[in-house]
Amino acid sequence: METFLRVLDPIDTSTGGGSASAISGAMAGSLIAMVARLSVPDQEGDVEQEIIDRIFFQSKQLSQMLMQGGEEDAQAFQLIRSAYQLARQTEDEKNLRQQAIQSAWQKATRVPLENAERCIQVYGLGAELVSHANPKAISDLRCGLLLAHAGFFGCLENVKINLPSIKEATISAEIIVKANDLRSQFKSIQLSHDSLSTDL
């Protein structure tokens, strides 16, 4: 909650797009879990109920993880600030400072990448729920899908902006491959669920 309030404060620069995007994914997960709870199949104890229950519990869990992920993103940003403030008078201090800076940038890039992966999981659960959802709650489900969409691409924007600061080529390459793979997964989910259109 503290990170959420800091995101809402335009004067506070300790949080940014990464935290906001993770929180967007968290809200998506909560909405999708809510719709799942409101969606009761025609017959009790059938396979559809098992699907709805699974979507509820997984979405709720991912929502909690993404709220924590928003806090972790803010903490990663603070690590960068702290690393740049380290002493650099001697060669040893300079080396230690540079190592701390690189470690902080890697953390600040991996955290939103992990949050992006959680957002895509939330989106996938929402997409799966569409055909089982209570029609009276379909607008809530679509809002959840839109929030997961925004959270996913927002997290990847955070990855993109931090990536050039990582000097280790193998690590950068690994992150790029993972980000591209997540984009492909997201497109695949969209293509396989034609009913996800949010047009009126």
How close are the terminal C-alpha atoms of the chain, in Å?
33
Confidence check: pLDDT of 14 > 80 = no
Q: How far apart are CA 195 and CA 200, in angstroms?
A: 12
Confidence class of residue 196 from pLDDT cuts 50, 70 and 90? Answer: low
Alpha helix ranges (H) inside the chain: 2-8, 17-38, 47-84, 91-129, 138-162, 169-192
- Average confidence (pLDDT) over 102-123: 98
Confidence class of residue 197 from pLDDT cuts 50, 70 and 90? Answer: low
| Mean pLDDT score of the chain | 92
- What pLDDT was estimated at residue 47? 81
- What pLDDT was estimated at residue 53? 94
Confidence check: pLDDT of 136 > 70 = yes
- The reported pTM is 0.91
Confidence class of residue 200 from pLDDT cuts 50, 70 and 90? Answer: very low
Range name among 63-67, 85-89, 144-148, 189-193 with the lowest pLDDT average: 189-193
Which CATH number fits the domain 2-196, given the four candidates 2.60.120.510, 1.20.120.680, 3.40.50.460, 1.10.3720.10? 1.20.120.680
Q: How far apart are CA 108 and CA 90, in angstroms?
A: 27
Q: How far apart are CA 19 and CA 70, in angstroms?
A: 4
Domain ranges of the chain: 2-196
Q: How far apart are CA 174 and CA 66, in angstroms?
A: 22
Q: How far apart are CA 76 and CA 6, in angstroms?
A: 15
Confidence check: pLDDT of 180 > 80 = yes
